[in-house]
Amino acid sequence: MAAHNLTSTVQPSDVYGGDEVQAFVLDPGYYFTRAGFAGEDAPKAVQPSFYARINGADQPKDIYGEQYLIPRENLEVRNYMTKDSIVEDWDTAPKFWESLIRNQLLPPRQVAPKQNGLNDIPREDQEGDVEMGDSNGADKTGDTAEDEELKLFEESPLLMTEAPWNTTKNREKSIEMAMEGWGCPAFWISRTPTLVSFAAGKPTALIIDVGAANASVVAVHDGHVLKRSIQKSPVGGLWLSQQVQALWEGNDPKVEPVPFFMVENKAPVDAGAPAQYTARKLGFDISETFRAYEDERLRTEFKESVVEVWRGPTRFMMPGTEEIARNQTPGRVFEFPDGSNHMWRETRYRVAEGMWDDTAQLPNTPDEWKISAEQTLSSLIRNCLSGVDVDLRPNLLGNVVVTGASTLINGFNDRLNIELTQMFPGLKIRIHSAGLSSERRFGAWVGGSILSSLGTFHQMWISRKEYEENGVNIVEKRCK
Ligand SMILES: Nc1ncnc2c1ncn2[C@@H]1O[C@H](COP(=O)(O)OP(=O)(O)OP(=O)(O)O)[C@@H](O)[C@H]1O
């Protein structure tokens, strides 16, 4: 770890000295937002980056917390991130994060900053109606302890993660929010590949990150992202889910799953038999966005338990391979929310094959989800390595780090190893991938947690004084 290069071209003009206080580490992704305390092994709070907007006769009201993403009249599901995994909605993001930190990280009965917070949301909506179910921590939104307000954030430095392609404007918004909105004493922002390399203890590494909205391949050298190496494409978890959808639609008979929230009760049935279930009567219309959110949850379950990456050595589309998959590998049964269940055989490999080979995409993939040959993981890797010095390639290929929850799909690492070996014959390939799924899901967060709790990091924080002297553009000068 010590080999990581922590120097910055601009030296800090003030050193933040509050080592007795724990920093917050905040890692926003398109599908999940992770938050927790520096020095801990895993983020205490992991929540979908989606929130509920209630449209009524009055002004729309936003409510944060996974427990509020439930069937409800006039409820729309929104996300504060773009599909590029950068923050888009700067009105919402600070409120979303504040609510997450306050309800899940802090002890009850303390108060968050006034200017952005849940204080704007009527109390009944923070707590939820009876039918909204578990309000999980919502009663922590105390209106007591006015005198304690701001302290929480005023005492904690904030380390944020960002996609390597984040914009300057967005970085400046982040420091502005931390300093002006939350009153944090110090701030830092780091690119996710750098943090993942930290978590793996490898200052020089090839970082392969397959998240939800994006997959990316980035070279990190001595703790710094090599800008020319950055490659990304949409072959992440959402794309895989679309392949699952295409599989269901192309199946004979076509599979049209009933979402969980529409099932009142169900009876067990044999594989392939029609479902026996009672549909729930809601008495109001469900928004398209809520339905899409629920459909995605179901596709994720299918990915976790049925979909598998074809391990090779031949690609799945090679003649004869499909028969091998059909005759020599076990099938998997999946039960849908209405109780119907099907056995999935060789097609469960086909779903993920397009990640490596664009010709394997399912025929009924919608146009907007089709990827080109240049967007497969194989091409991203090749293009990333073409963008770096030839001498560095052996070092990178000897330190491949795999991260992002979509890499948890069965068979991923085996196939990656085969692809890399075939692409770079003669070079030694070593894939480092955390055994614990939590480390793979939270790689960047864990890196941020380690970095911000290092003794040497105290000299790195951008202190409030430095921010006040320089303004928002200090972030570009210091967080290289
Ligand atoms: N066991 C699993 N197998 C396959 N896919 C999984 C598994 N667990 C989670 N996923 C998928 O991983 C994705 C979430 O990954 P992750 O949390 O790394 O993304 P993110 O950080 O929110 O998104 P991004 O990096 O694109 O901004 C979702 O699409 C989810 O369906």
Can you give the pLDDT at residue 21?
A: 65
Can you give the pLDDT at residue 440?
A: 82
If you take atom 13 of ligand 1, which residue's CA is the nearest one?
212
Can you give the pLDDT at residue 48?
A: 97
pLDDT at 101 over 60: yes
Can you give the pLDDT at residue 217?
A: 98
pTM of the model: 0.89
Average pLDDT score over the chain? 88
If you take atom 25 of ligand 1, which residue's CA is the nearest one?
211
If you take atom 20 of ligand 1, which residue's CA is the nearest one?
29
Choice from 406, 439, 442, 445 to test ligand 1 binding pocket (greatest atom count within 8 A of CB): 406
Cα 32 to averaged position of ligand 1 atoms, centre (Å): 8
If you take atom 1 of ligand 1, which residue's CA is the nearest one?
304
Place 19 in a pLDDT band, splitting at 50, 70 and 90.
Answer: low
Tens-digit pLDDT profile for residues 25-62 = 999 999 999 999 999 999 999 999 999 999 987 889 99
Cα 330 to averaged position of ligand 1 atoms, centre (Å): 25
CA dihedral 425, 405, 303, 51 (to 10 degrees): -150
Instruction: Provide the angle, in degrees to the nearest 10, between the axes of the packed helices 192-200 and 443-453.
Output: 80
If you take atom 2 of ligand 1, which residue's CA is the nearest one?
304
Q: Which atom of ligand 1 is nearest to the CA of 81?
A: 27
Place 173 in a pLDDT band, splitting at 50, 70 and 90.
Answer: very high
pLDDT at 13 over 70: no
Higher pLDDT among residues 129 and 473, named by residue: 473
* In the block, residue with structure tokens 């639609």: 249
Q: Which of 79, 389, 448, 371 is nearest to 215 (CA)?
A: 371
Mean pLDDT of all residues in 127-154: 46
Can you give the pLDDT at residue 130?
A: 30
Q: Which atom of ligand 1 is nearest to the CA of 238?
A: 29
Tens-digit pLDDT profile for residues 205-248 = 999 999 999 999 999 999 999 999 999 999 999 999 999 999 99
Place 120 in a pLDDT band, splitting at 50, 70 and 90.
Answer: very low
Can you give the pLDDT at residue 153?
A: 80
Of the listed ranges 255-259, 293-297, 376-380, 433-437, the one predicted with least confidence: 433-437
Tens-digit pLDDT profile for residues 75-99 = 999 999 999 999 989 999 999 999 9
Place 108 in a pLDDT band, splitting at 50, 70 and 90.
Answer: low
How remote is the C-alpha of 2 from its chain's centroid? 27
pLDDT at 107 over 80: no
Task: Report the distance separating Cα 177 and Cα 182, nearest Å.
Answer: 6
Choice from 300, 332, 351 to test ligand 1 binding pocket (greatest atom count within 8 A of CB): 300
Cα 267 to averaged position of ligand 1 atoms, centre (Å): 31
Q: Residue 186: beta bridge partners?
A: 463
How remote is the C-alpha of 61 from its chain's centroid? 25
Higher pLDDT among residues 153 and 425, named by residue: 425
Q: CB within 6 Å of ligand 1 — which residues?
A: 29-32, 85, 211-214, 236-238, 300, 303-304, 404-406, 408-409, 441
CB 134 within 8 A of CB 67: yes
Can you give the pLDDT at residue 400?
A: 97
Can you give the pLDDT at residue 170?
A: 97
Mean pLDDT of all residues in 162-186: 96
Place 70 in a pLDDT band, splitting at 50, 70 and 90.
Answer: very high
Domains and CATH numbers, the chain: 24-233+439-478 (3.30.420.40), 237-369 (3.90.640.10)
Higher pLDDT among residues 321 and 2, named by residue: 321
Higher pLDDT among residues 314 and 301, named by residue: 301
CB 215 within 8 A of CB 409: no
pLDDT at 123 over 60: no
Q: Which atom of ligand 1 is nearest to the CA of 303?
A: 4
Can you give the pLDDT at residue 378?
A: 96
Tens-digit pLDDT profile for residues 175-204 = 999 999 999 999 999 999 999 999 999 999
Q: Which of 119, 48, 189 is nearest to 479 (CA)?
A: 189
Place 3 in a pLDDT band, splitting at 50, 70 and 90.
Answer: very low
Encoded tokens for 437: 């799924």
Can you give the pLDDT at residue 14?
A: 64
Cα 253 to averaged position of ligand 1 atoms, centre (Å): 29
Tens-digit pLDDT profile for residues 333-351 = 999 999 999 999 999 999 9
Cα 146 to averaged position of ligand 1 atoms, centre (Å): 39
Can you give the pLDDT at residue 106?
A: 79
Place 434 in a pLDDT band, splitting at 50, 70 and 90.
Answer: low
Of the listed ranges 69-73, 134-138, 353-357, 447-451, the one predicted with least confidence: 134-138
Choice from 96, 230, 303 to test ligand 1 binding pocket (greatest atom count within 8 A of CB): 303
Tens-digit pLDDT profile for residues 375-433 = 999 999 999 999 999 999 999 999 999 999 999 999 999 999 999 999 999 999 999 87
Cα 31 to averaged position of ligand 1 atoms, centre (Å): 7
Place 9 in a pLDDT band, splitting at 50, 70 and 90.
Answer: very low
Q: Which atom of ligand 1 is nearest to the CA of 410?
A: 3
